[in-house]
Amino acid sequence: MYQTIISPAEVTDLTADVLIFDCRHNLFQLGEGAENYTAAHLPGAYHLHMDADLSGEILLGKTGRHPLPDMDAFAAFISRFGLGAETQVVCYDDKGGGLAARLWWMLRVLNHEATAVLDGGIQAWEAEGLPLEAGYRDHPTASEGGVVAPHLARFAPHCTRDRAQIALLRNDPTHTVIDSRTVPRYLGEHEPIDPVAGHIGGAINLPWPDNLTNGKLKPRAELKTRFAKLKKDAQNNTFYCGSGVTACHNILAYTHAYGEMPLLYPGSWSDWITG
């Protein structure tokens, strides 16, 4: 069972009960991910759209840009693909796992432990000379998929923190709030997406791309050094980003290093500034 990352070679060694999801997405060209998937993707993979499949409804002035969907509904949706308790899920993108980690996190908090991000993404797959296929594979319909996979748990709110909780925790010496965006966005020097620049007061900055070397996750020892300044108890650390997507990559890296999952502020900066 692979629970954090998986290499292309390890994917090819999987013999049965595997689900592969392509999570490629472009914030500024919303159809690009599906277009790239249709042109070439890992054999047997399905495409999941960040907005339509991995996010809920945006309520102007009330939510961030990628609010979590109703997680019970998501559990029913993902079960349609034949997700069993032993199914190994592999999710990938073309951004070092920065997007695929969102699906990884959603499945892990629903109790599907056999979920891993393809280390190095589709680029690593291609670099190994492994095959790709073209075309769009339709999602199974509700009638084909049956009921929610029995092993999936109801979403546990203790995996996340909301805006009101962050307002308290950012000043709590027993807790650390971590901004996962790049340094210029954290400092408010460059904000290409959200209408307000800056960061949550009291938050430290650990940019998610620094988890990577040449597009692949750094070794555990290096990740432990990177996260050494955080609280020893994973539950005393909450990560956020712009909209709750790339913060999941920091959670992936932390979990890979320590075997425990810290918390996520799903709404993140785009939700914080609506308050």
State whether 93 and 219 are in the same domain.
no
Instruction: Place 108 in a pLDDT band, splitting at 50, 70 and 90.
Output: very high
CA–CA dist 258, 266 (Å, integer):
21
Q: Is the same domain home to 29 and 85?
A: yes
Give yes or no: residues 68 and 195 share one domain.
no
Q: Are residues 121 and 251 in the same domain?
A: no
Is 241 assigned a catalytic role? yes
Residue 214: burial class (beta carbons within 10 Å; 0-12, 13-18, 19+): exposed
146 pLDDT higher than 70: no
* Total tally of structural domains belonging to the chain: 2
Answer whether residue 150 is part of any domain.
no
Domain carrying residue 247: 157-272
In the listed set 121, 145, 169, which residue is the last one of a domain according to the structure?
145
CATH code: domain of residue 201? 3.40.250.10
Taking residues 145-171, what's their average pLDDT?
88
13-22, 151-160, 183-192: segment of lowest average pLDDT:
151-160
Q: Which stretch of 153-167, 178-192, 220-234 has the lowest confidence by average pLDDT?
A: 153-167
* C-alpha span between 215 and 209 (Å, rounded): 9
Residue 105 maps to a domain: yes
Which of 13-17, 22-26, 136-140, 177-181 bottoms out in mean pLDDT, i.e. has the lowest? 13-17
User: Is residue 151 assigned to a domain?
Assistant: no
- Do 73 and 131 have their domain in common? yes
* Residue 196 identity: V
> pLDDT at position 145, please?
52
Give the confidence band of 7 by pLDDT, cuts at 50, 70, 90.
very high
Within 10 A of 92 (CB to CB), how many other CB atoms are there? 30
Catalytic residue, from 23, 91, 159, 241: name it: 241
Confidence of residue 211 (pLDDT cuts 50, 70, 90): very high
C-beta separation of 73 from 3 below 8 A: no
In sequence order, what DSSP letters do the residues of 239-275 get, joined into one string? EE-SSSSTHHHHHHHHHHHHS---EE-SSHHHHHTT-
Helix axes 71-79, 100-109, angle to 10 degrees: 100
Beta strand ranges found along 135-262 (DSSP E): 176-179, 204-205, 212-213, 216-217, 237-240
Are 21 and 141 found together in one domain? yes
